[in-house]
Structure 1
Amino acid sequence: MMGKILQLKNVKVIANKQTLLDIADFSLDQGDVVGVIGPNGAGKSTLLKVLSYLQAPTEGEVMYKGEAKHSDHLDLALRRRFAVALQQSLLFDTTVYDNVAIGLKLRKVNKKVISEQVSYWLEKFQISHLAKKNAKSLSGGEAQRVNLARALILDPEVLFLDEPFSALDFPTKAQLIKDFNEILKDTNTTTLFVSHDLLEIRHLTKSLAVIIDGKLQQSGSTKAVIEHPNEAAAPFLNKWKELYTF
């Protein structure tokens, strides 16, 4: 049964007397892939941190399946329902295999299961040939594939992505987005994808939220928002639409 996994209600994040985020209502539904787009400094990453319980809001509630949960009172089982992949892959100075396996090892999963799961996800991301290579020697695209495999091997209920492709050159980015899009379709993983790039958003997401000045300016299906931006969202979205043919 589909339903809301996470929801924000009257959430504000205030730092140094500045309002970084002011969201009256925002929800993430099971199986959805939601893009969050906006200019630099708009509050996108703050939204991701609040939804993933990495940052407590100054005001308001973060609801998990209809129940208010607070980041300082979360039990380990709930934290393990989420996985986060950042722009910087932050890989350990060890093999690709060990980097992908680390989360399952920390959870004390059976070694045979770890081996099977690592092999599966290395193959999914087409990096099986890199298994014994040191992760610090990888190219940017290879490192990000390892980073994403390391997140998805945990079978998260919600996957949070914070601009994971922004540091990649265009051909590398385009191929990884294509491959990752297929993986998301296969796994039906509920995903929140933060980006400032409309091209990434268009290819990966089903729904789109436009954040500007810390506020939700427009939301809806990705296609509808891109084709029919409202007055608040149009100046930002139209700049991207001038660059690409949609």
Structure 2
Amino acid sequence: MTEMIRAEKLEFQVPGRSILSISELVLEKGHVYGIMGPNGAGKSTLLKFLSLLDAPTSGTITFNGKRVSAKTVTLEERRKIAIALQQSLLLDTTVFQNIAVGLKIRKLPRKVIKEKVYEWLEKFNITHLAEKHVSKLSGGEAQRVNLARAMILEPELLCLDEPFSALDFPTKMKLIADFKSILSAADTTALFVSHDLLEVKSLTDELFILKNGELKQKGSTMDVIENPNQETRSFLNEWKSYLTI
């Protein structure tokens, strides 16, 4: 596989304590990675660094072999990364206009924008919602729009911060199944922060477990879940007990 991102010796401190300390982390192209850990483990902080939204206190990040940082990233590099959050933060307009906004900013021709928007409406099974105002959407519909708005930009890296956590169980699992197929077909590399083991198990290929700002275990998702080490066992076994209730 081809390496996309390499992070080395990432440190992030605030006065009096360390928030994150990662010696090495590698993302390969085309894989879907999960990040889990207890509250305060540093999951969202790490996502911000790897998506170049914020900079660590020290350490290096390379993207496609080039050293990058939130302070020096070019517009061209920035456009290779998209982000979808727990709250969809949709614009006060129609579904079509929300999905089209990134392409309009990039000044694509109107005909191309329309073709691409309808292509992604179809992929997310929301073509019938194209002219609907976002205020009338259900939670699952809104999140499909949010994800389509990110994917239409054809990012090399998609960063997801708990985008499914507010959805009811059947809606969540149907969207995750559809989204996994979409990611695979697009060959998009994704980094997915979640507090839910079932979400991670359903969507990801590889899993990182953070605790106290440190990477305690990494590997294939099923291997990490089935064979937790001493550092991650209590956290993962508690989650597994919930899944078997």
Number of the residue aligned with 2:144: 145
Which segments of structure 1 move beyond 3 Å, counting only runs of 4 or more?
Answer: none
Post-superposition offset of 1:18: 2.4
Deviations 1:150-174 (A, max 9, x none): 0000000000000000011111111
Number of the residue aligned with 1:93: 92
Post-superposition offset of 1:40: 1.7
Which amino acid in the other structure matches residue 204 of structure 1? L
Which amino acid in the other structure matches residue 123 of structure 2? K
Determine if contact 2:93/2:134 at 8 Å carries over to the other structure.
yes
Number of the residue aligned with 2:52: 53
Determine if contact 2:8/2:24 at 8 Å carries over to the other structure.
yes
Number of the residue aligned with 1:134: 133
Post-superposition offset of 1:66: 2.7
Number of the residue aligned with 1:28: 27
Determine if contact 2:53/2:70 at 8 Å carries over to the other structure.
yes
Number of the residue aligned with 1:158: 157
Which stretch of the first structure deviates more once superposed, 180-189 or 80-89? 180-189
Determine if contact 1:37/1:208 at 8 Å carries over to the other structure.
yes
Deviations 1:57-84 (A, max 9, x none): 0011111123321211111000000000
Which amino acid in the other structure matches residue 64 of structure 1? F
Does 1:113 pair with 2:112?
A: yes
Structure 1 segments unaligned to the other structure (5+ residues) = none
Number of the residue aligned with 1:207: 206
Which amino acid in the other structure matches residue 42 of structure 1? A
Determine if contact 1:6/1:65 at 8 Å carries over to the other structure.
yes
Does 1:14 pair with 2:16?
A: no
Q: Distance in 2 between matches of 1:145 and 1:17?
A: 41
- Aligned pairs for 1:154-233 within 5 A: 154-233=153-232
Q: Kindly report the root-mean-square deviation, in angstroms, between the aligned alpha carbons of the 2 structures.
A: 1.2
Q: Distance in 2 between matches of 1:4 and 1:135?
A: 38
Determine if contact 1:92/1:136 at 8 Å carries over to the other structure.
no
Which amino acid in the other structure matches residue 141 of structure 2? E
Post-superposition offset of 1:11: 0.3
SS of the residue corresponding to residue 36 of structure 1 reads strand
Structure 2 segments unaligned to the other structure (5+ residues) = none
Post-superposition offset of 1:139: 1.1
Number of the residue aligned with 2:68: 69
Post-superposition offset of 1:19: 1.4
Number of the residue aligned with 1:242: 241
SS of the residue corresponding to residue 73 of structure 1 reads coil
Q: Distance in 1 between matches of 2:168 and 2:39?
A: 19
